[in-house]
Structure 1
Amino acid sequence: MGKIVISENVTLDGVIQDPTGEDGLGRGSWFTRISDQDREAWAKVEFEEALGAAALLMGRRTHAYFLTRGWASRGGEWADRLRSLPKYVVSSSALEGAGWGEPTVLTGDVARAVAKLKEQVDGEIVVYGSGRLVHTLLEHDLADELRLMTYPFVVGAGGRLFPETSGVKPARLVGTRTVGDSLALLTYRLVRDA
């Protein structure tokens, strides 16, 4: 049985939107404000996570983001690992892999499709970005773990990882890790029967 792992870069105030400043929101680019040492430490943690993944699950916009950022042609072990993983993309239209592996498109009832995917994949199904998908996964109690790479910034505005939910979603802290000099990786297991 698969385990849905939501892996996000997030600010202290929960913002996930515009980490590189390309959306033009005026408060983005918080990812680019960390030191080179912190970025190297972050990349090492992300590569370790990719090695432990059995598949990637993402929304259409996050999939497009990876393609436009050159992951299809990027060199190195991390890029090679991401290219080799099966990719499942929630979308209402067909997608092209463009050298990043042909994705399997999940359409229709997202909750039902992801529940079926969890039955088919053995191991971690990692979700990057994909804010709307993450909200759906949380609402339908499909997520098993949250890995929040926390950046030392209060952005004050922008899309947040946790928008309004239908109820309390309890979680248990199962890990903390300092990454570089200023990042913190917080790992929570979602609790179903609290």
Structure 2
Amino acid sequence: MGKIIVSHNVTLDGVGQDPTGEEGFDRGGWANHLSDDDRAAWAKVEHEEAVAAAAMLLGGRSYDWFASRWVARTGEWADRLREMPKYVVSTTVTELPWPNTTVLSLDAVGALRQQVDGDIVVYGSRRLAHALFDLGLVDEVRLMVYPHVAGAGDRVLGATATRLRLVDARTVGDNLAFLTYRTL
């Protein structure tokens, strides 16, 4: 049985909205302020997570965002993401430019969890993450915490009360914290 892992970049106050500033959120772009050393350390952690994952689960908008940036990239990380099975929870995605992608309904995620052996990582996809929490399907949460307070914005962890247990905390680079929690 697979484990569904919500993995997200967040500000210190839990905002996951518009980290690159491309969505036009007036408080977005907070992930662009890393030093080169911190960015390299972040990339190493993200690459390791992708190598260890069995599959990726995305919402439609996040799939479009990732596919538009990773389809043409080269290198070991891009190759891993390209070969990894990707599942998109969407009723609107019709074009699948990224290889090994399957569209499914939210109702099918529980069955997917039974079929996949290993980590099913949810990147971005805040609305999908909220729905998965609501359904009790999240097994683990990984947060890369940036040293920035947005003050407002959409948070990764939604309104569903969820008990978590910290299982790992470490510094990434000089300024990031990587926190791993398991649901109880």
Normalised by the shorter chain, which TM-score bucket? over 0.9
- 2:139 pairs, out of 144, 169, 174, with 144
Tell whether the 8 Å contact from 2:60 to 2:93 is kept in structure 1 after alignment. no
Q: How does 1:1-194 map to 2 (within 5 A)?
A: 1-69=1-69, 71-98=70-97, 100-107=98-105, 110=106, 112-165=107-160, 168-191=161-184
Q: One-letter code of the match for 2:104? A: L
8 Å CA contact 1:95–1:103 kept in 2: the answer is no
After superposition, the Cα gap between the structure-2 partners of 1:155 and 1:87, relative to the gap in structure 1 and judged at 3 Å, is same
SS in 2 for 1:188: strand
- Letter of the structure 2 residue corresponding to residue 47 of structure 1: H
Counterpart of 1:149 in structure 2: which amino acid? M
Shift of 1:12: 0.5
Q: Could you tell me how far apart the structure 1 residues matched to 2:102 and 2:31 are?
A: 29
Cα offset for 1:183? 0.2
TM-score (norm: length of structure 1): 0.92
Q: Percent identity?
A: 59
Gaps of 5+ in 1: none
3-state secondary structure, aligned to 2:158: coil
Report how far residue 94 of structure 1 moved: 4.5
> CA-to-partner distance for each residue in 1:67-122, whole Å, 9 max, x for gaps?
222x0010111111000100000011343232x21411112xx1x31110011100
TM-score (norm 2): 0.97
Describe the superposition over 1:22-65 as per-residue Cα deviations: whole angstroms up to 9, x where unpaired: 11122111110111110100000000001110000000000000
Matched residues in 1 for 2:100 and 2:182: separation? 31
Amino acid at match of 1:41: A
Aligned partner of 1:26: which letter? D
Q: Is the 8 A contact 1:96 1:102 kept in 2?
A: no
Following the alignment from structure 2 to structure 1, what is the Cα–Cα distance between the partners of residues 178 and 77? 19
Root-mean-square deviation over aligned CA pairs: 1.0
Alignment check: 8 A CA contact 1:131 1:161 kept: yes
Amino acid at match of 2:73: R
Q: Which runs of 5+ in 2 are unaligned?
A: none
Question: 1:123, 1:130 → 2: CA distance?
Answer: 20
Quote the Cα distance in structure 2 between the aligned partners of 1:116 and 1:95. Answer: 22
